[in-house]
Amino acid sequence: MPLAEGVELKEIWIKNFKSLKDVKVRLGEFNLLIGPNRSGKTNFLEALELLKAVYFPRPGEVNPFLRWWGYDRVVWRRDESLPITIGLSLAMAGRDVKFEVTFTGIGGKFALLKEVVEVNSTVRLEKVGSVLKIKHDPEFLNRGLKEAEENERVKHLISSIRAKSELANYSVDIRGKGTLLKDVIYSLTEISLENVSILYSPAKRPWLRGILLLSPNVDFGKQRTSFIMFIRNKLLDLLNNILVLKAVEPRKIKEVVSRPAKEKTLTSDASNLHNVLYNLFMENRAKMPPRIEKAIKDIFGPDVYVSFMLTEDGRIFMRVYEGDMPLDPPMISDGFYKALVVLTAIETRPSILVIDELENALHPKAIQRLIDELKNAGCTVIAVTHSPAVVDIVDPEDIVLVDRDEEGATVMKRVEDPEALKRKLAERGITLSEGWLYGRIA
Amino acid sequence: MAGSLEAFLIPEDTYGASFLKALVNRLKAEGLLPPGVNIVKDWKLPGRCRPKLERMVKAAYDDYDRIIVVADAEGRDVRGVRKELEIHIPDFCRPKVRIIILDYCIEEWVCVGLGVRFGENPVRALKDYLRKQRGAKTDYHKYMLPDFVPELDLDRLSSYGSFREFIGALMP
């Protein structure tokens, strides 16, 4: 699902993943990463792939680092004693939210070391090993307690679970059960009052005994719920729906004639394009989704369209037509498949869509249209390019400059003053890509 | 040839190009533009660093009768936006270049053509109109722009300043 209305991914920080020793980057809806080879652009994309794998591993996957041949291949300078940290800053329903996870693979075993969920000026949850630390903002706590104590239904909970004097900052040993995001928050019982919700450990889960936390409320549809449960659900949706496209090889995709399967998400090499697109096609009553249909016509010609047929042995075969003439895979350009991958990715409604080497196989005109689609995708898009033509299509505000420092660590920067840069380039009569390649635009 | 014109269109985005090309076809079909008028090529206006525009205009100058830039002011001062673009048009190219500035964005023409009041946000007005007046189940997306062309009231649109300029820019 795309980022819900009112949810905005503002910042990502990563520590000790490959060349990303310690980077923090501000994000907009569309972000174009540019920089020399080996600067760490793809590492940034892979960090997001790893973040998803931590919470949503592939079936049977017990160690997400095996995708990279082991922990020592992904940690900074192969120093296994270092943990990896990935954090997100978000704005959700008007509140600033911070989420951070720290993990390791030392000794060949994946372990979550620390998780933090913090709602600015209200409550912070931190799980370190088996210990859950809960910290309330004193002012928020006082207001919440006052409301709770005036309510007959909940006032008995306050002192029966934990002394009021402890609530500002306390720890509970939950004996290491599960993750904060997936298990602990979900297991709490919540009662929502007018302005505040009370979340506490239910009797049937003794391992959570002693937890009592106060959360602001949020109106979600027709329901009023605790903000903590709301962001827990949104964060899990967000992590589960990260889509990283890298090493997309149109020639490989062409060769696939697969059996129909209920695949709704593209793999990172988009080798399952036919199946995902077929499912979108069937969901739209055996028609291409209009976004894809219109973009294909605009890019490749008004008489070009895509349809599906089943082969005699029950496999799905994607058929492209130019007018009445059917085109079989060897007659179709790589750029067509690449455009179809990007458009299909948007249509699957990811939360964060990450695309490595966006420009590969595509004419600048096709890239223009795809960038327009990406800018209107309703999700956070992070794309990587080496192409000056792509740089000249976007605005300076969209650009994230990636480079390495003397130590070999990745450095990521935004253009500090886009307006001043625009003025400077206009005065000199040079394009943004020329400024990037031959000058300094940060 | 008398009555013919080959134009190079530089719209704000690729959705605008599809919309404007469909609109030109309708204008020709209804006799509001001569049949010999054609948008031969279109290329999106460069990102907000515009020096690339100068290279585009220079490259296109010899090959087209008219170069038409359609840019969004997004609520900013129209004269200021025009000036920002004009500095990238070389003097020798000016006779062929026409710059059309929309007060907000291309959706304002759709709103005018459908009789929808848009205040300062034509996109939101269009979304509200589709949802409330037409009971649309899917939200408005920019790729839908060309679909509105057959429905637009051209008489109403013809009284709208930037649209009149656009028609004028396409006259041979």
Percent of chain A with pLDDT over 90: 69
Band of pLDDT at residue A430, cut at 50, 70 and 90: confident
Averaged over B147-171, what is the pLDDT? 96
What's chain B's average pLDDT? 93
Q: How far is B3 from chain A (nearest CA, A)?
A: 26
CA B59, B60, B61, B63 torsion: positive or negative? positive
**What local confidence, expressed as pLDDT, does residue A269 receive?**
94
Nearest CA in chain B to A391: B47
Which candidate in B49, B57, B85, B138 is best for mutational testing of the A interface (most A CBs within 10 A)?
B49
Averaged over B57-71, what is the pLDDT? 95
**What local confidence, expressed as pLDDT, does residue A354 receive?**
97
Q: Who has greater pLDDT, B18 or A176? A: B18
Least confident span in A4-18, A40-54, A346-360, B81-95: A4-18
Q: Who has greater pLDDT, B51 or A377? A: A377
**What local confidence, expressed as pLDDT, does residue A366 receive?**
94
Q: Crossing angle for the helix pair B107-114 and B122-132, nearest 10 degrees? A: 40
* ipTM exceeding the 0.85 mark: no
Q: Has residue A4 got a pLDDT over 60?
A: no
Which residues in chain A are contacts of B130 at CB distance < 8 A? none
Q: How far is A321 from chain B (nearest CA, A)?
A: 21
- Of the candidates B37, B38, B40, B42, the residue with the CA atom closest to the CA atom of residue B17: B42
**Which of A247-251, B17-21, B83-87, B136-140 reaches the highest mean pLDDT?**
B17-21
Q: Has residue A84 got a pLDDT over 50?
A: yes
Distance CA A133, CA A126 (A): 5
Q: Has residue A2 got a pLDDT over 60?
A: no
**What local confidence, expressed as pLDDT, does residue A429 receive?**
84
CATH class in words for A242-300+329-438:
alpha beta
Helix (H), strand (E) at residue B155: helix B154-158
Per-position DSSP letters for B81-93, written without gaps between them: HHHHHHTTS-GGG
Distance CA A180, CA A163 (A): 23
Query: Do B60 and B53 form a contact (C-beta atoms < 8 A)?
Result: no
Distance CA B10, CA B46 (A): 9
Q: Which of residues 416-435 of A touch B (CB under 8 A)?
A: 418, 421-422, 425-426, 428-432, 435
Distance CA A26, CA A37 (A): 22
Band of pLDDT at residue A436, cut at 50, 70 and 90: confident
The secondary structure of residue A188, as a DSSP letter, is: S
Which residues in chain B are contacts of A372 at CB distance < 8 A? 13-15, 44, 142
**What local confidence, expressed as pLDDT, does residue A201 receive?**
86
**What local confidence, expressed as pLDDT, does residue A159 receive?**
76
Distance CA B136, CA B151 (A): 16
Distance CA B127, CA A242 (A): 28
**What local confidence, expressed as pLDDT, does residue A161 receive?**
78
Domains and CATH numbers, chain B: 4-106+154-169 (3.40.50)
C-alpha separations of B26 from A108, A421, B23, B67 in Å? 66, 41, 5, 20
Which residues in chain A are contacts of B40 at CB distance < 8 A? none
Half-sphere exposure of A365 (CA within 13 A, CB side): 15
Tokens of B159: 């009284």
Q: Has residue B50 got a pLDDT over 80?
A: no
Q: Per residue in A214-266, pLDDT tens?
A: 999 998 777 888 999 999 999 999 999 999 999 898 888 888 777 888 889 99
Half-sphere exposure of A149 (CA within 13 A, CB side): 10
Averaged over B131-143, what is the pLDDT? 85
Which residues in chain B are contacts of A441 at CB distance < 8 A? none
Band of pLDDT at residue A1, cut at 50, 70 and 90: very low
Query: Do B98 and B130 form a contact (C-beta atoms < 8 A)?
Result: no
From start to end of B56-157, where are the E strands?
Answer: 66-72, 97-102
**What local confidence, expressed as pLDDT, does residue B59 receive?**
93
Tokens of B98: 């026409």
Distance CA A32, CA A26 (A): 12
Contact B47/A392, CB-based, under 8 Å? yes
* Edge-first strand listing for the sheet containing A169-173: A20-26, A7-17, A84-92, A95-104, A111-119, A123-128, A131-136, A169-173
Q: Per residue in A397-412, pLDDT tens?
A: 999 999 999 999 999 9
Q: Per residue in A360-397, pLDDT tens?
A: 889 999 999 999 999 999 999 999 999 998 999 999 99
Name the residue among A291, A396, A431 with its Cβ closest to that of B51. Answer: A431
Which residues in chain A are contacts of B46 at CB distance < 8 A? 392-393, 431-432
**What local confidence, expressed as pLDDT, does residue A3 receive?**
56
Q: How far is B150 from chain A (nearest CA, A)?
A: 16
**What local confidence, expressed as pLDDT, does residue B2 receive?**
62
- Of the candidates A357, A351, A402, the residue with the CA atom closest to the CA atom of residue A247: A357
Q: Who has greater pLDDT, B82 or A162? A: B82
By DSSP bridging, strand A189-192 and strand A169-173 are unpaired
Which candidate in A285, A292, A365, A434 is best for mutational testing of the B interface (most B CBs within 10 A)?
A365
Name the residue among A291, A396, A431 with its Cβ closest to that of B143. Answer: A291
Q: How far is A432 from chain B (nearest CA, A)?
A: 6
Q: Has residue A313 got a pLDDT over 80?
A: yes
Least confident span in A44-53, A215-224, B29-38, B160-169: A215-224
Domain limits, chain A:
242-300+329-438
**What local confidence, expressed as pLDDT, does residue A439 receive?**
79
